[in-house]
Amino acid sequence: ILSKKGVIILPDIYANAGGVTVSYFEWVQNIQGFLWDEEKVNRELKKYMTKAFKNIKSMCKSNNCDLRMGAFTLGLDRVARATLLRGWEA
C-alpha cells in the first residue's frame, strides 16, 4: 500500500546495516588499538551507508525493481561472485 502511494521503503537489511557497520568499526579499533571520536565514526558510517545505498539504487535501475528486491539481488550477486572466486562452483 505504501509503495503504491510513492512512499520510499528502505529494505530491512539496509536499515539494520548502520548498527552492524559501527560494531565492525569498534572491532577494528579494538584490534588496532585505536580510538575514534564520534565525528570520525559518523563520517565513516555516512561514507559506507551512502555507497551501499548507491549500489542498491544501481541494482534497482539495472533490474527495474524496488529497493527491497535490489538489496536482495545485490546480496545474492555478491555471494555468487565470492563463491566462484573461491572455486566452490557447483
What pLDDT, on a 0 to 100 scale, did the predictor assign at position 90?
Answer: 59
For the segment 51-60, the average pLDDT, to the nearest whole number, is: 96
- What b/e string do you get for 14-44 counting C-beta neighbours within 10 Å, with b at 16 or more? beebeeebeeebeeeeeeeeeeeeeeeeeeb
The answer to whether residue 61 scores a pLDDT higher than 90 is: yes
What pLDDT, on a 0 to 100 scale, did the predictor assign at position 71?
Answer: 96
- What pLDDT, in 10s, does the model give residues 36-49? 999 999 999 999 99
For the segment 39-60, the average pLDDT, to the nearest whole number, is: 97
**pLDDT-based confidence at residue 14 (cuts at 50, 70, 90):** very high
